[in-house]
Amino acid sequence: MARLSLRDIKKRFKTTDVLHGIDLEIGDREFVVFVGPSGCGKSTLLRLIAGLDPISGGDFFLNDQRMNDVPPSRRGIAMVFQSYALYPHMDVYENMAFGARLMGLTKDEVEKRIADAARMLRLEALLKRKPRELSGGQRQRVAIGRALVRKPEVFLLDEPLSNLDAALRSEVRLEIAKLHRDIGGTMIYVTHDQVEAMTLADKIVVMNAGRIEQVGSPRELYETPANTFVATFIGSPRMTLVDVTRDGEKLAVANGGSIATGALPAGDTFKLGLRPDAVKLHRGHAGDGLTAQVVYTEYLGDNAYVYSRLADGTLVSARTGPNDIYAPDEAVTVTVEPGSAHYFSAEDGRRLTP
Amino acid sequence: MPQLRMTGRGLWITALIVPPLAFVALFIVYPIISAFAYAFFDWQGLKRLDFVGLENFHTVLFVEPYRSWTLNAFKNNVIVFFALMVLQNGLGFILAYALWRELPGARFHRIAVFLPVVLSTIIVAYLFKLFYHPLFGVVNISLKSIGLGWLAQPWLGQSGTALGSIIVAQAWHMVGFPTLVFLAGMQRIPSEILDAVRMETESEWVKITKIVWPLVAPSATIVFTLLFVGAFNWFELPYIMGGLDGSPFGSTDVLGLYFYRTAFGNVSAGQQDFGLGSALAVIIFLFIAVVAGVITTRLRAREIQL
C-alpha cells in the first residue's frame, strides 16, 4: 500500500520560487508520469518526494504519515537516477547489496532479493562486473535492480531513458511497463518526452512553470486538454492554435476565409485548436475553408505531414497519406473534420466546450 | 642507412631540445651521479682519496657510533611519517569533508586552511619556536591562563616533547595541502552518486567509509606518496627548531639533519666526511625511491575511474 498526498507543496531556492503550491493525490500501484518542459519543476518535485531537498512549504503525506522531515532513507522510497549513479567502486552485486544490507536484512534475505532482481532484470551473468564494464542499458537495469532489492513502496524514476539511444529506449520502456505490472509498486516517473508519458502512464501530470496544468489519463489529456499549454504539449506534431472570430455558424480567420467545424461554444472570439488528423487539405483556393500556402512536407513512410501557412501567418500541420505530396508554395484550402476541433478561451487559454 | 637530414625543421627541433637537455645533464644528472660516485671513495676534507668500495655504506649502517645515529634518525623519521599521516593527512581529509559539505563559513575556511601552506617554512619555524617558548610562549601562557599551568613545559627543550612539538608545527604548516587535494577529489564525485547514497542511508560514517573514501583514492595516492617523500626528506623545521644536532639529545634528529652534519660538519664538531655523507644520501635516496614506488603502485591498484 502506498498512497501519496501532496498538499500545497512549495519550493523556493533562495529568492526564486520553483514550485507554487502543488496539490496532488497518487493512489496505490499507480504509474504516474510528471511531464513538462525543461525547468518546469518536475525533477524538483521528485526530489522533494524523495527527500533529497527540503520542502519549503506545504505537506507531503505517505500513507497518511507526514514525511516532510523524514530522511530519504527512511521513507520507503527508492529512486533511479538519470545518470544511474551506480557506485563505481562496487560490482553489480555489491551495488545492489549495499542498500539492502543497510536496511538490516539478513544475509540470506539479501542474497535472495538480489537473485530475484537479477533474474527479473537478466543481470545474472553480470553480477561480478564493475559499472564501467557495462553498457548503458545494462547500467540502467542495475540501477533499477538496486531500487528493487530494497522493496520500496514507491519507485521514483528521474528521466531514466534519456541517456539511452533511441532503439534501446523503446525496449527499456517496455521493460519498465512490464516491471510495473509484475511488482505492482507505486511508480513516479519524470520525463520531458511525451511519448514515454503517453505509453507508460496510468496518470499524467503535466507541469509548467512550477504549476500543475492538468492531471489525467493519457486519453483525457489528448482528447480533452484543459488549456492551450496541455493541448500543444501533448501530441506530435503539436496542435495548431488559430485565432478565430465567429461568423454565424462558421469561424473566420483574419483575411483568410472561414470554416465550419460543427457545434461552437458561446462567445465571439476564441482560439481554435486543430490536431493534424483533424485537418483536411484541398488543392487550390476553392470553396469553403481557410486559404493557405504549403510551406513544406515531412514524408514519414506510412503517412506524411504537410505544413502550410494561413493568411494570418499561423502554421497549420495536417496529416495526409504518403502519396499526397504537395509542392512548396502550392495554394491549398484547409477544412476541418466536423466535431474534431478544440476551442480555447482567447483570454486565458482555458478549454471551452460547445 | 637512414640519413638525418638537417632540414629547417630538424634544426629547429635540435635547437630547442639541446639547451634544456644540456642544462638538465649538467645541473641534475651529473651531480646525482657524482654523489653516487662520492659514496665509494675515502675523503679528507674536499680532497678525494682512495676508492673504498662499499666501506662507507658499511660504516654508516654497521659501525658505532654511526650505526646508532643512523638508527635513531631513521626511527624519528618513521615517527614523523606516521604522526603526520594522522595529523596532516587525517585532519586534511576531515577538513576537506567539512569544507565539501559546505558547513557554515566554508568559504572563509577554504582560504584559511590553505593560507599557512603559502607561508615560508622559515617563518613558520620561528613562529612556532616563539609559541613554544617556555616563559613567554603563547602555548604556555594560554595553558596558565585557563588554569592548566601544570601542563606548561619547555616544549622544545626536553626529549619527550621536542619532536612531537615540531611535528605539530609541520602539520599546521602543511595541512592545507592534503585538504586541497582531498577536496578536489571529493568535488569530482558526481552529485547523483551522493544522492543515491542518501536514498539508502543517512549515516555520515557509512557515506565516508563506503563511498567517499574509496572514491577519493587517487587523491589519497598523491598525498600518501608525497607525505612519505616529505617525511623522510624532512629538514627545515627540525633544523631551525631543534638545531643541527637534533637537540635535545638527538631526540629531533632525522636523516636529513644527520646527513647534512656528516657530510658538511657542524659548529660543535668540526669534522666532515663527504664519503659517509654521500653514502647516507644514497641510502636515503634508494629507500625513498623504492618505498615510494611500492606505495604508488599498491595505491594505484585501488583507484577507480569515475
Query: pLDDT tens-digit profile of A133-149?
Result: 998 888 988 999 999 89
Measure CB to CB from residue A132 to each of B192, B210, B305 and give the nearest one. B305
Beta strand extents in chain B (DSSP E only): 41-44, 47-51
Collapse the DSSP code of B295 into the 3-class scheme (helix H, G, I; strand E, B; otherwise coil) and give the result: helix
Helix and strand numbers, DSSP H then E, in chain B = 17, 2
- The confidence score (pLDDT) of residue B128 equals 92
In chain A, which residues have pLDDT < 70? 1
Nearest-Cα distance to chain B for A90, in Å, is 9
Contact A85 B192 (CB under 8 A): yes
Nearest-Cα distance to chain B for A288, in Å, is 58
Residue B136 neighbours by CB distance under 10 Å: 8
Collapse the DSSP code of A16 into the 3-class scheme (helix H, G, I; strand E, B; otherwise coil) and give the result: strand
pLDDT surpassing 60 at residue B1: no
Residues of chain A contacting residue B200, judged by C-beta atoms under 8 Å apart: 73, 98-99, 102, 150
As a whole number of angstroms, the distance between CA A276 and CA A273 comes to 10
Residues of chain B contacting residue A130, judged by C-beta atoms under 8 Å apart: 304
Q: How many Cα atoms within 13 Å fall on the side-chain side of residue A208? A: 12
Q: Report CA B116 to chain centroid distance, whole Å.
A: 16
Q: Is residue B142 one of the residues assigned to a domain?
A: yes
As a whole number of angstroms, the distance between CA B138 and CA B140 comes to 6
Residues of chain B contacting residue A99, judged by C-beta atoms under 8 Å apart: 199-201
Model confidence pLDDT, tens digit, residues B64-73: 888 888 888 9
Query: Can you state the angle between helices B176-187 and B217-232, rounded to 10 degrees?
Result: 160
**Contact (Cβ atoms closer than 8 angstroms) between residue A204 and residue A221:** yes
Contact A73 B198 (CB under 8 A): yes
Q: Report CA B68 to chain centroid distance, whole Å.
A: 23
Range in A84-93, B78-87, B199-208, B238-247 with the lowest mean pLDDT: B238-247
Largest CA distance in chain A: 78
As a whole number of angstroms, the distance between CA A318 and CA A283 comes to 13
Q: What is the CATH number of the domain that holds B104?
A: 1.10.3720.10
Number of domains in chain B: 1
Beta strands A257-259 and A250-252 are antiparallel
Question: Does residue B34 or residue A187 have the better pLDDT?
Answer: A187
Q: Is residue B70 one of the residues assigned to a domain?
A: yes
**Contact (Cβ atoms closer than 8 angstroms) between residue A142 and residue A126:** yes
Q: Is residue B4 one of the residues assigned to a domain?
A: no
In this structure, what are the phi and psi dihedrals at residue A190, rounded to the nearest 5 degrees?
-105, 135
Positive or negative, the CA dihedral B136, B142, B144, B150 is negative
**Contact (Cβ atoms closer than 8 angstroms) between residue A177 and residue A98:** no
Confidence of residue B270 (pLDDT cuts 50, 70, 90): low
Best B189, B194, B200 residue to mutate vs chain A (most A CBs within 10 Å)? B200
- The confidence score (pLDDT) of residue B306 equals 60
Taken in order of first residue, the domains within chain A and their CATH numbers are 4-232 (3.40.50.300), 237-352 (2.40.50.140)
- What Cα–Cα distance (Å) separates residue B63 from each residue in A11, B48, B252? 76, 22, 22
Best A102, A129, A132, A133 residue to mutate vs chain B (most B CBs within 10 Å)? A102
The complex scores an ipTM of 0.83
- The confidence score (pLDDT) of residue A48 equals 93
Residues of chain B contacting residue A81, judged by C-beta atoms under 8 Å apart: 192, 195-196
Q: Is residue B276 one of the residues assigned to a domain?
A: yes
Contact A89 B305 (CB under 8 A): no
Residue type for position B91? L
Q: Is residue B306 one of the residues assigned to a domain?
A: no
Contact A88 B196 (CB under 8 A): no
- The confidence score (pLDDT) of residue B271 equals 73
Best B195, B199, B202, B305 residue to mutate vs chain A (most A CBs within 10 Å)? B199
Q: Is residue B45 one of the residues assigned to a domain?
A: no
A114 Cβ partners below 8 Å, 6+ apart? A93, A96, A97, A100, A127, A145, A149
As a whole number of angstroms, the distance between CA A161 and CA A179 comes to 15
A163 Cβ partners below 8 Å, 6+ apart? A82, A83, A84, A136, A140
A313: left (phi over 0), alpha (psi -120 to 50) or beta: left
Q: Is residue B161 one of the residues assigned to a domain?
A: yes
Residues of chain B contacting residue A98, judged by C-beta atoms under 8 Å apart: 200, 210
Mean pLDDT of all residues belonging to chain B: 87
Confidence of residue B38 (pLDDT cuts 50, 70, 90): confident
As a whole number of angstroms, the distance between CA A198 and CA A187 comes to 15
Q: Is residue B71 one of the residues assigned to a domain?
A: yes
Q: Residue A66: beta bridge partners? A: A61
pLDDT surpassing 60 at residue B7: yes
As a whole number of angstroms, the distance between CA A96 and CA B44 comes to 70
Mean pLDDT of all residues belonging to chain A: 90
Model confidence pLDDT, tens digit, residues A152-204: 999 999 998 888 888 888 888 888 888 888 888 899 999 988 888 999 999 99
Which domain range does residue B151 map to? 58-300
Cell of A36: 513538462
Percent of chain B with pLDDT over 90: 40
pLDDT surpassing 90 at residue B51: no
Best A77, A81, A91 residue to mutate vs chain B (most B CBs within 10 Å)? A81
pLDDT surpassing 90 at residue B148: no
Using a CB–CB cut-off of 8 Å, the residues of A that contact B are 47, 50-52, 71-74, 77-79, 81-89, 98-99, 102, 130, 132, 146, 150
Closest residue of A to B304, CA-based? Answer: A89
Cell of A248: 454565424
- The confidence score (pLDDT) of residue B155 equals 85
